[in-house]
Structure 1
């Protein structure tokens, strides 16, 4: 921690605020926070540090949206998500920081590309078309979501795309996402602890940054219905592309 510059701490602080905002108001916005953490810290360390901050944000997401969850959807996703988590854990255990860092960049770039493709496709699709659902869809998104959230805390875009594909209503989207990540993030704790990633430095860093997550979440709850979503999405995508390219090279 003493090796971090003032700019590094500023980036981490901004990432903490964005984490709170994303949990309370902007689903998927946490991708930018992941990029900022991975750009400042070693890849595996950033994954552990972000996890604890996400759990703080999950508390506020549950407070706001806990009653809107669709539990059959969560149960349908569970087997594939567990498989993805186990594969992601094996990858973290075997891969070095350099490979994990590049994997974070690749994962985020792929998620952005698929998100943009899906949006373009949705714009062209007839609004009256029947929503897609089924075991194949839930298995694919569930496994990829489990893997990406274990390796890079980047499961948000994957699950957002799943809920878009199934045409989930907004409130159900937010409630189901809140419970999904609250449960998954708690499940991840013993896995990362087993790899020895929760060092005293990581815990102290999160203790310092946690109040900023709370601030971001409180602000998010106030502006959830006022923020210009389209503009924010474009900014997040643009900054995430820049950050992802930086992680790769």
Structure 2
């Protein structure tokens, strides 16, 4: 079955937003995950979005290749792999309807987490930055959420905030984390039949859109008032999450 015109248009828009979120505004990723799962069958959206995310990841790691803090990635990755394994099992058995509700609920929960993040930032660094339980919990949650819905951005942000990184190291480490994790996810999504020749063909056509989004992120983001733009994105993400749950 071919993709509809609406699905192609939505994918182009989401590909631009992926490029933008990888080089500019991380919270946009929540909205992308929700809108893709609203436009496509929820399980199919996971496989369709993953290669687009990897394209954006490649752009980001090339730009921020000197800013990564590897020790924080190596500490987290074993727990992330466990979360991916759990998400893989869930994806193998869950229906599209149930997955839509799960992703929608997850999106709403992550929005709440994001809104609370700034208020608890100092507490995260002081109280939880060195906690192994904290690291393990967030690692499993990040692996699970990225596997079932490509929606681990807010969780990873909380982890990186707890390490007290500066802005450049934050973005660079985040970029390398998602590149590694999204590549690890590929064999699982292929096995589940969520990535195939049909979806990859559409993914290839989306590469220019991702590059356009990345360029916008590099050039335009400093000109946009962050607090207003972020409020709009989070509101749209909330609407997307509610749509997944109730419609």
User: By the TM > 0.5 criterion, same fold?
Assistant: yes
In the alignment of these two chains, the number of paired residues is: 245
1:235 aligns with 2:236: no
- 3-state SS of the aligned residue for 1:154? coil
Q: Give the direction of change, closer, same or farther, for the CA distance of 1:3–1:78 in structure 2 (3 Å limit).
A: closer
1:157 to 149, 154, 160: 154
1:132 to 128, 131, 143: 128
CA distance in 1, matches of 2:112, 2:13: 25
1:4 aligns with 2:4: yes
Unaligned runs of 5+ in 1: none
Give a deviation string over 1:90-132, Cα, whole Å, max 9, x none.
111111111111111011111111221232344xx589x7363
Q: Give the direction of change, closer, same or farther, for the CA distance of 1:169–1:98 in structure 2 (3 Å limit).
A: same
Task: Tell me, yes or no, if the aligned pair for 2:16 and 2:213 is still in contact at 8 Å.
Answer: yes
Q: Give the direction of change, closer, same or farther, for the CA distance of 1:196–1:72 in structure 2 (3 Å limit).
A: same
- Cα shift at 1:227: 3.1
CA distance in 1, matches of 2:163, 2:70: 14
- Provide the alpha-carbon RMSD of the alignment: 1.9
- Cα shift at 1:166: 2.8
CA distance in 1, matches of 2:87, 2:245: 19
Unaligned runs of 5+ in 2: none
Q: Residue 69 of structure 1 aligns with which residue?
A: 68
Structure 1 range deviating more: 172-181 or 30-39: 30-39
Task: Write the mapping of 1:52-201 to structure 2, written as runs, cut at 5 A.
Answer: 52-122=51-121, 130=126, 132-133=128-129, 134-201=131-198
Structure 1 consecutive aligned stretches of length 4 or more whose deviation exceeds 6 Å: none
Q: Residue 244 of structure 1 aligns with which residue?
A: 241
Task: Tell me, yes or no, if the aligned pair for 2:113 and 2:154 is still in contact at 8 Å.
Answer: no
Please, what TM-score do these two structures have when normalized by structure 2?
0.93
Please, what TM-score do these two structures have when normalized by structure 1?
0.92
CA distance in 2, matches of 1:121, 1:3: 43
- Cα shift at 1:27: 1.9
